[in-house]
Amino acid sequence: MSLNDREKKRYTRHLILDEIGEEGQLRLKNGKVVVVGTGGLGSPVLYYLAAAGVGCLGLVDNDSVDLSNLQRQILHRTGDLSRPKAVSAYEKLNDLNPEINIKPLIERVTADNADEIISGYDIVVDATDNFPSRFILNKACIRAGKPFIHGGILGFFGQVTTIMPGQGPCLQCLFREPPTPGAVPSPPGVVGAVAGTIGTIQAVEAVKIILGAGDILSGRLLMYDSLELSFREITVKKDPGCPVCGSGEDR
- CB 182 within 8 Å of CB 157: no
Residue whose CB is less far from Zn ion, 11 or 148: 148
Residue whose CB is less far from Zn ion, 118 or 244: 244
Among 28, 65, 211, 242, binds Zn ion (CB under 5 A): 242
> Candidates 58-66, 168-176, 197-205, 229-237 — which segment interacts with Zn ion by CB under 5 A?
168-176
- CB 172 within 8 Å of CB 135: yes
- Dihedral over Cα of 125, 129, 133, 139: its sign: positive
Q: Report in angstroms how near the CB of residue 35 gets to Zn ion at its nearest.
A: 22
**Residue 198 binds Zn ion (CB under 5 A):** no
Q: Report in angstroms how near the CB of residue 171 gets to Zn ion at its nearest.
A: 7
3-state secondary structure of 57: strand
Please work out the total of residues on this chain that contact Zn ion, with binding judged by CB under 5 A.
Answer: 6
State which amino acid sits at residue 214.
G
Q: Which of residues 37-96 bind Zn ion (CB under 5 A)?
A: none
With CB atoms as reference, the residue minimizing the distance to Zn ion is: 242
- CB 65 within 8 Å of CB 81: yes
State which amino acid sits at residue 164.
M
Among 170, 191, 201, 211, binds Zn ion (CB under 5 A): 170
Reference 76, options 115, 111, 47; nearest CA is: 47
Q: Report in angstroms how near the CB of residue 133 gets to Zn ion at its nearest.
A: 17
- CA distance linking residue 59 with residue 96, whole number of Å: 15
Reference 112, options 87, 133, 84; nearest CA is: 133
Residues 101-140, one symbol each (x = binds Zn ion by CB under 5 A, - = not), give ----------------------------------------
* Bridge partners, residue 123, by sequence: 33
**Residue 173 binds Zn ion (CB under 5 A):** yes
Q: Which secondary structure element, helix H or strand E, spans residue 186, and what is its range?
A: none
> Candidates 46-54, 72-80, 152-160, 173-181 — which segment interacts with Zn ion by CB under 5 A?
173-181
Interacting residue ranges for Zn ion, rule: CB under 5 A: 170, 172-173, 242, 244-245
